[in-house]
Protein backbone atom coordinates (compact mmCIF):
# COMPACT_ATOMS: atom_id res chain seq x y z
CA UNK A 1 0.00 0.00 0.00
CA UNK A 2 2.11 2.84 -1.25
CA UNK A 3 1.28 6.46 -0.48
CA UNK A 4 -0.66 8.31 -3.14
CA UNK A 5 1.00 11.12 -4.99
CA UNK A 6 -0.44 14.55 -4.30
CA UNK A 7 -2.20 16.04 -7.33
CA UNK A 8 -0.50 18.95 -8.99
CA UNK A 9 -2.22 22.20 -9.75
CA UNK A 10 -2.82 22.67 -13.43
CA UNK A 11 -2.01 20.21 -16.18
CA UNK A 12 0.95 20.78 -18.45
CA UNK A 13 0.85 19.96 -22.13
CA UNK A 14 3.72 17.51 -21.61
CA UNK A 15 1.60 15.55 -19.13
CA UNK A 16 -1.21 15.36 -21.68
CA UNK A 17 1.00 14.09 -24.51
CA UNK A 18 -0.34 10.49 -24.43
CA UNK A 19 -3.90 11.80 -24.73
CA UNK A 20 -2.83 14.24 -27.45
CA UNK A 21 -1.28 11.47 -29.54
CA UNK A 22 -4.35 9.30 -29.05
CA UNK A 23 -6.69 12.07 -30.23
CA UNK A 24 -4.55 12.72 -33.31
CA UNK A 25 -4.56 9.01 -34.17
CA UNK A 26 -8.32 8.84 -33.64
CA UNK A 27 -8.84 11.85 -35.93
CA UNK A 28 -6.77 10.24 -38.70
CA UNK A 29 -8.60 6.92 -38.35
CA UNK A 30 -11.99 8.61 -38.55
CA UNK A 31 -11.02 10.54 -41.68
CA UNK A 32 -9.22 7.57 -43.22
CA UNK A 33 -6.55 9.85 -44.72
CA UNK A 34 -2.92 10.41 -43.76
CA UNK A 35 -2.00 13.52 -45.73
CA UNK A 36 -0.59 16.83 -44.52
CA UNK A 37 -4.00 18.50 -44.20
CA UNK A 38 -5.48 15.65 -42.14
CA UNK A 39 -2.48 15.57 -39.81
CA UNK A 40 -2.51 19.36 -39.43
CA UNK A 41 -6.23 19.57 -38.66
CA UNK A 42 -5.86 16.59 -36.32
CA UNK A 43 -3.16 18.38 -34.34
CA UNK A 44 -5.26 21.57 -34.12
CA UNK A 45 -8.38 19.65 -33.08
CA UNK A 46 -6.48 17.66 -30.45
CA UNK A 47 -4.83 20.77 -28.99
CA UNK A 48 -8.22 22.49 -28.69
CA UNK A 49 -9.73 19.49 -26.90
CA UNK A 50 -6.78 19.10 -24.52
CA UNK A 51 -6.48 22.78 -23.64
CA UNK A 52 -10.13 23.88 -23.45
CA UNK A 53 -11.89 20.81 -22.06
CA UNK A 54 -11.09 19.43 -18.63
CA UNK A 55 -9.67 15.94 -18.93
CA UNK A 56 -7.77 14.06 -16.22
CA UNK A 57 -4.06 13.74 -17.02
CA UNK A 58 -2.76 10.34 -18.09
CA UNK A 59 0.04 9.65 -15.61
CA UNK A 60 2.57 7.20 -17.01
CA UNK A 61 4.20 4.54 -14.86
CA UNK A 62 7.76 5.82 -15.37
CA UNK A 63 8.89 2.32 -16.41
CA UNK A 64 9.07 0.65 -19.80
CA UNK A 65 10.79 -2.60 -20.71
CA UNK A 66 11.58 -2.83 -24.42
CA UNK A 67 11.76 -6.63 -24.50
CA UNK A 68 8.44 -7.17 -22.73
CA UNK A 69 6.86 -4.43 -24.87
CA UNK A 70 7.79 -6.35 -28.02
CA UNK A 71 6.40 -9.51 -26.42
CA UNK A 72 3.18 -7.62 -25.60
CA UNK A 73 2.77 -6.51 -29.22
CA UNK A 74 3.18 -10.06 -30.55
CA UNK A 75 0.87 -11.48 -27.88
CA UNK A 76 -1.84 -8.96 -28.79
CA UNK A 77 -1.53 -9.94 -32.46
CA UNK A 78 -1.71 -13.61 -31.47
CA UNK A 79 -4.80 -13.00 -29.32
CA UNK A 80 -6.49 -11.12 -32.15
CA UNK A 81 -5.79 -13.87 -34.70
CA UNK A 82 -6.81 -16.67 -32.33
CA UNK A 83 -10.00 -14.93 -31.24
CA UNK A 84 -10.89 -14.17 -34.87
CA UNK A 85 -10.78 -17.87 -35.74
CA UNK A 86 -12.90 -18.69 -32.69
CA UNK A 87 -15.53 -16.11 -33.68
CA UNK A 88 -15.50 -17.40 -37.26
CA UNK A 89 -16.08 -20.95 -36.03
CA UNK A 90 -18.96 -19.83 -33.78
CA UNK A 91 -20.54 -18.15 -36.83
CA UNK A 92 -20.43 -21.22 -39.10
CA UNK A 93 -20.78 -24.17 -36.69
CA UNK A 94 -24.09 -26.06 -37.00
CA UNK A 95 -25.27 -25.31 -33.48
CA UNK A 96 -27.45 -22.79 -31.72
CA UNK A 97 -26.34 -19.18 -31.33
CA UNK A 98 -23.82 -18.96 -28.44
CA UNK A 99 -24.94 -17.30 -25.23
CA UNK A 100 -23.01 -14.22 -24.15
CA UNK A 101 -22.39 -12.94 -20.63
CA UNK A 102 -21.42 -9.72 -18.90
CA UNK A 103 -18.54 -10.44 -16.56
CA UNK A 104 -16.80 -8.18 -14.06
CA UNK A 105 -13.01 -8.27 -13.95
CA UNK A 106 -11.44 -6.56 -10.94
CA UNK A 107 -7.91 -5.66 -12.00
CA UNK A 108 -5.11 -5.98 -9.48
CA UNK A 109 -3.48 -2.69 -10.49
CA UNK A 110 -4.82 0.75 -9.52
CA UNK A 111 -3.18 2.71 -12.34
CA UNK A 112 -5.44 4.69 -14.69
CA UNK A 113 -2.78 4.22 -17.36
CA UNK A 114 -2.85 0.40 -17.14
CA UNK A 115 -6.63 0.25 -16.81
CA UNK A 116 -6.96 2.32 -19.99
CA UNK A 117 -4.53 0.17 -21.97
CA UNK A 118 -6.16 -3.03 -20.66
CA UNK A 119 -9.59 -1.78 -21.72
CA UNK A 120 -8.30 -0.87 -25.20
CA UNK A 121 -6.69 -4.29 -25.74
CA UNK A 122 -9.82 -6.08 -24.53
CA UNK A 123 -11.75 -4.03 -27.08
CA UNK A 124 -9.32 -5.01 -29.87
CA UNK A 125 -9.55 -8.75 -29.24
CA UNK A 126 -12.66 -10.10 -31.03
CA UNK A 127 -15.30 -11.67 -28.82
CA UNK A 128 -15.03 -9.25 -25.90
CA UNK A 129 -16.35 -5.71 -25.61
CA UNK A 130 -15.84 -3.33 -22.68
CA UNK A 131 -19.30 -2.09 -21.74
CA UNK A 132 -18.30 -0.13 -18.63
CA UNK A 133 -15.23 0.81 -16.60
CA UNK A 134 -15.40 1.40 -12.86
CA UNK A 135 -12.31 3.58 -12.53
CA UNK A 136 -12.47 3.99 -8.74
CA UNK A 137 -12.56 0.25 -8.04
CA UNK A 138 -10.54 -0.79 -11.09
CA UNK A 139 -13.25 -3.05 -12.55
CA UNK A 140 -13.81 -3.78 -16.23
CA UNK A 141 -17.25 -5.01 -17.26
CA UNK A 142 -16.88 -7.14 -20.38
CA UNK A 143 -19.43 -8.53 -22.81
CA UNK A 144 -17.98 -11.95 -23.68
CA UNK A 145 -19.31 -14.25 -26.39
CA UNK A 146 -19.91 -17.95 -25.78
CA UNK A 147 -19.82 -17.66 -22.00
CA UNK A 148 -22.83 -19.66 -20.88
CA UNK A 149 -21.11 -21.75 -18.19
CA UNK A 150 -19.13 -20.89 -15.07
CA UNK A 151 -16.04 -22.50 -16.62
CA UNK A 152 -16.26 -20.27 -19.71
CA UNK A 153 -16.83 -17.18 -17.56
CA UNK A 154 -13.74 -18.07 -15.50
CA UNK A 155 -11.77 -18.56 -18.73
CA UNK A 156 -12.87 -15.13 -19.99
CA UNK A 157 -11.82 -13.53 -16.74
CA UNK A 158 -8.46 -15.38 -16.86
CA UNK A 159 -7.85 -14.05 -20.39
CA UNK A 160 -8.33 -10.48 -19.10
CA UNK A 161 -5.87 -11.12 -16.29
CA UNK A 162 -3.33 -12.37 -18.84
CA UNK A 163 -3.73 -9.09 -20.70
CA UNK A 164 -3.24 -7.12 -17.49
CA UNK A 165 -0.09 -9.08 -16.62
CA UNK A 166 1.39 -8.65 -20.09
CA UNK A 167 0.81 -4.89 -19.91
CA UNK A 168 2.31 -4.68 -16.40
CA UNK A 169 5.47 -6.47 -17.54
CA UNK A 170 5.85 -4.11 -20.49
CA UNK A 171 4.89 -0.67 -19.16
CA UNK A 172 3.64 -1.13 -15.59
CA UNK A 173 5.28 0.38 -12.53
CA UNK A 174 6.94 -1.70 -9.84
CA UNK A 175 3.91 -1.05 -7.65
CA UNK A 176 1.67 -2.55 -10.35
CA UNK A 177 3.89 -5.63 -10.49
CA UNK A 178 3.88 -5.84 -6.68
CA UNK A 179 0.09 -5.87 -6.55
CA UNK A 180 -0.08 -8.62 -9.17
CA UNK A 181 2.65 -10.63 -7.44
CA UNK A 182 0.74 -10.43 -4.14
CA UNK A 183 -2.37 -11.80 -5.83
CA UNK A 184 -0.41 -14.59 -7.51
CA UNK A 185 1.23 -15.49 -4.18
CA UNK A 186 -2.22 -15.85 -2.57
CA UNK A 187 -3.11 -18.29 -5.36
CA UNK A 188 0.12 -20.24 -4.86
CA UNK A 189 1.63 -19.14 -8.18
CA UNK A 190 5.09 -17.83 -8.96
CA UNK A 191 5.62 -14.05 -9.10
CA UNK A 192 5.24 -12.36 -12.44
CA UNK A 193 8.62 -10.64 -12.06
CA UNK A 194 11.16 -11.40 -9.33
CA UNK A 195 14.43 -9.70 -10.17
CA UNK A 196 16.53 -7.99 -7.50
CA UNK A 197 15.12 -4.47 -7.93
CA UNK A 198 11.55 -5.76 -7.88
CA UNK A 199 12.16 -7.85 -4.74
CA UNK A 200 13.70 -4.86 -2.96
CA UNK A 201 10.73 -2.68 -3.93
CA UNK A 202 8.24 -5.27 -2.73
CA UNK A 203 10.03 -5.66 0.60
CA UNK A 204 9.81 -1.89 1.20
CA UNK A 205 6.17 -1.83 0.07
CA UNK A 206 5.27 -4.70 2.40
CA UNK A 207 6.94 -2.99 5.35
CA UNK A 208 5.08 0.23 4.61
CA UNK A 209 1.80 -1.65 4.25
CA UNK A 210 2.25 -3.39 7.60
CA UNK A 211 3.21 -0.12 9.31
CA UNK A 212 0.08 1.55 7.96
CA UNK A 213 -2.06 -1.38 9.10
CA UNK A 214 -0.61 -1.18 12.62
CA UNK A 215 -1.28 2.56 12.75
CA UNK A 216 -4.84 2.01 11.56
CA UNK A 217 -5.43 -0.71 14.18
CA UNK A 218 -3.96 1.50 16.90
CA UNK A 219 -6.38 4.29 16.01
CA UNK A 220 -9.28 1.88 16.40
Per-residue pLDDT, 75: 94
Residue 202 belongs to some domain of the structure = no
DSSP-derived secondary structure for 143-157: EESS--SHHHHHHHH
CA nearest 130: which of 105, 149, 97? 105
Residues of the chain with pLDDT under 50: 1-10
Is the pTM higher than 0.75? no
Calpha distance 109→176 (Å, rounded): 5
Q: Which alpha helices (DSSP H) does 2-142 contain, by range?
A: 17-31, 36-52, 66-92, 112-124
Same domain, 83 and 133: yes
Q: Look at strands 101-106 and 128-134 and give their pairing.
A: unpaired
User: In total, how many domains does the chain have?
Assistant: 2
Per-residue pLDDT, 6: 39
Per-residue pLDDT, 57: 60
Same domain, 164 and 73: yes
Per-residue pLDDT, 103: 94
Q: Are the C-beta atoms of 81 and 123 separated by less than 8 Å?
A: no
Per-residue pLDDT, 188: 92
Residue 33 belongs to some domain of the structure = yes
Amino acid sequence: MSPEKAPRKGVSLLTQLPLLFFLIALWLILWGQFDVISIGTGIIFSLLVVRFFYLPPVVLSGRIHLGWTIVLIFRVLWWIVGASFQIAWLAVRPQKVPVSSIIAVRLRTHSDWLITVAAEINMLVPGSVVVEVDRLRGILYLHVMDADTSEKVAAGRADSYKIEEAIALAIGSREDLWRINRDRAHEGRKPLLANKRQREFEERAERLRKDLEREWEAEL
